[in-house]
């Protein structure tokens, strides 16, 4: 019931035009600027904005980083620096999952996509930034935004190892995430 109420609250939020400024520290150091696509993924953009406004993305690590593919972050439940990161990538947020908002926008370099489980309607707080085009994701994952500045910071994020891209040791972290308008 709580998840439904949270989703309805996000859906009832007024239209907005927002983006994010993400300060990153680790192997990458600097600020990534993101434009959120509230026109093609309004529920996802609203939820990311709400999580960022609550300060919940601050201190969250890039837990899955695959060279030539993408860098994933946003697990506000299990991916906070200083916590037990062995479960990073398995959590969500205080809000419920979001129904898929697929679009014709292709997964190009710098596109922000919403991570999810096998169920297309299971996106919550986690997102990924594309290093390179990933057209095989088109129509399968929600495109929620794009990097407008700071791709050199994205390119410098510490890479993971193995087929799942798990980051070993100290991962890069989003030290502060600010909402811009």
Residues in contact with 10: Cβ distance below 8 Å, sequence separation at least 6, in sequence order: 43, 46, 47, 50, 95, 98
List the chain domain ranges.
2-11+19-180
pLDDT at residue 42 greater than cutoff 90: yes
Average pLDDT, the chain: 92
pLDDT band at 162 (very low <50, low <70, confident <90, very high): confident
Please indicate whether residue 8 or residue 129 has the higher confidence score (pLDDT).
129
Cα–Cα distances in angstroms (integers) from residue 165 to residues 16, 67, 147, 171, in the given order: 34, 8, 21, 12
Spelled out in words, what is the top-level CATH class assigned to the domain 2-11+19-180? mainly beta
pLDDT at res. 1: 41
The pTM of this model reads 0.91
pLDDT at res. 119: 96
Do 180 and 19 touch, CB atoms closer than 8 A?
Answer: yes
CA distance 174 to 121: 25
């Amino acid at each position: 019931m709580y998840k439904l109420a949270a989703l309805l609250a996000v859906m009832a939020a007024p239209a907005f035009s927002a983006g994010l400024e993400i300060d990153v520290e680790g192997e990458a150091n600097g600020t990534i600027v993101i434009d959120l696509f509230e026109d093609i993924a309004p529920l996802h953009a609203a939820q990311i904005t709400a999580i960022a406004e609550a300060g919940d993305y601050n201190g969250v690590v890039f837990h899955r980083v695959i060279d030539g593919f993408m860098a994933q972050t946003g697990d506000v439940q299990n991916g906070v620096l200083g916590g037990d990161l062995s479960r990073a990538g398995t959590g969500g947020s205080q809000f419920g999952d979001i129904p898929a908002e697929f679009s014709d926008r292709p997964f190009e370099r710098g596109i922000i996509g919403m991570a999810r489980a096998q169920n297309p309607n299971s996106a919550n707080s986690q997102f990924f930034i594309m290093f390179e085009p990933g057209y095989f994701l088109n129509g399968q994952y929600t495109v929620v935004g794009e990097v407008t500045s700071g791709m050199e910071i994205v390119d410098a994020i510490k890479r993971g190892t193995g087929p799942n891209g798990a980051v070993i040791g100290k991962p890069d972290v989003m030290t502060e995430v600010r909402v811009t308008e």
